[in-house]
Amino acid sequence: MSAPAVFVLSLDTEIAWGTFDQPEFASYAPAFDQYRALIDRLLALLDRYQVPATWAFVGHLLLDRCQRAGGTTHPEVLRPNFAWYPGDWHDHDPGTDLARDPWWYGTDILAKVRAATVDHEVGTHTFSHVVLGDPACDAATARSQLAACRELHQAHGLPFDSLVFPRNQVAHLEVCAELGLIAWRGREQAWYEGLRGRWHRLGHLADRLLATTPAVYPRAQLQPDARGLVNVPGSMFLLPYDGVRARIPTGRRVRQGLRGLRAAVASEGLFHLWFHPFNLGSSPRMFDALEAILVAVAAEQAAGRLVVRTMAQVAREARGE
Ligand SMILES: [Zn+2]
Ligand SMILES: [Zn+2]
């Protein structure tokens, strides 16, 4: 029996949590302000094409309020003292509520995701978007971050199966397994990954301009490790229209996505697309690019050549469950 190809869509759901330490933070404000409208449009699109996604929520977004006490928030949740970040990682946490500071809380977004027609997965992206792979993050901190998320998932009646690592920096897999996670998203295998700094950025841009076929993965490669964890690696980041990236035509994004899909169908492998919902605010063309790819996904699915799965579903199949 021939196994069809698999399409996975994962969404790094973080609003302001993923970029508050970045120089571009202020430029994302318009996207954060229209975040709820972007989510509504995205959910409608995923319903239209019957595509369930894995929404990797920053755990803090599963709160509708919190408090600042003794100059900090969530003292019980450990966070690293990053060499490159001055002060406490939670300094940006307003310690207020959803109505007042919707960039930092997201129970309303969770409700929207759960109200969708298709059955989305809610995964995790750590409690406060700490970079688990940074040398300053020890196992106890990783455990504390993920345990806080697991507790919030339990409180909301959500499964706790899949992790997307902040900045895609993979580490502490033993802690992930210990806390019951079964799936994580590995960094995509791209030809320019070996390059550093400016050359990496140039390589990435050239790759997008040429619409190089993204990495797809044979299903046989999707195997649990000794701890039972399954790497469901990324294939392609749907490129937003920020800065110099805006010069890359929409057609290149679409072509690259379609090439990935075609390669997955030809090899009966996995094509895994990902982005952050706030990226949709970089240009209305983001929705055009996404929809063109989803049209092709739906057509391949209707033809019986491809199935759409969440990260947890891929992991369960790999684990023989
Ligand atoms: Zn808080
Ligand atoms: Zn992130």
pLDDT tens per residue, range 269-320: 999 999 999 999 999 999 999 999 999 999 999 999 999 999 999 999 999 9
Report angle CA 178, 276, 191 to the nearest 5 degrees: 80
129 Cα to the center of ligand 2, angstroms: 6
User: Above pLDDT 70, what percent of the chain?
Assistant: 99
Does residue 124 have a pLDDT over 90?
yes
Ligand nearest to the CA of 13: 2
312 Cα to the center of ligand 1, angstroms: 27
The CATH superfamily assigned to 5-318 is: Glycoside hydrolase/deacetylase (3.20.20.370)
pLDDT of residue 205: 86
- Residue-by-residue DSSP string for 30-55: HHHHTHHHHHHHHHHHHHHTT---EE
Q: Quote the DSSP letter at residue 8.
A: E
CB-based burial, 280-304: b 16+ in 10 Å, e otherwise: bbbbeebeebbebbbebbbebbeee
Does residue 31 have a pLDDT over 70?
yes
11 Cα to the center of ligand 2, angstroms: 9
17 Cα to the center of ligand 1, angstroms: 11
**Domains of the chain: which residue ranges?**
5-318
Distance, in Å, from the CA atom of 194 to the CA atom of 207, rounded to the nearest integer, reads: 14
Residue 209 pLDDT class (50, 70, 90 cuts)? confident
pLDDT of residue 3: 66
31 Cα to the center of ligand 1, angstroms: 21
74 Cα to the center of ligand 1, angstroms: 6
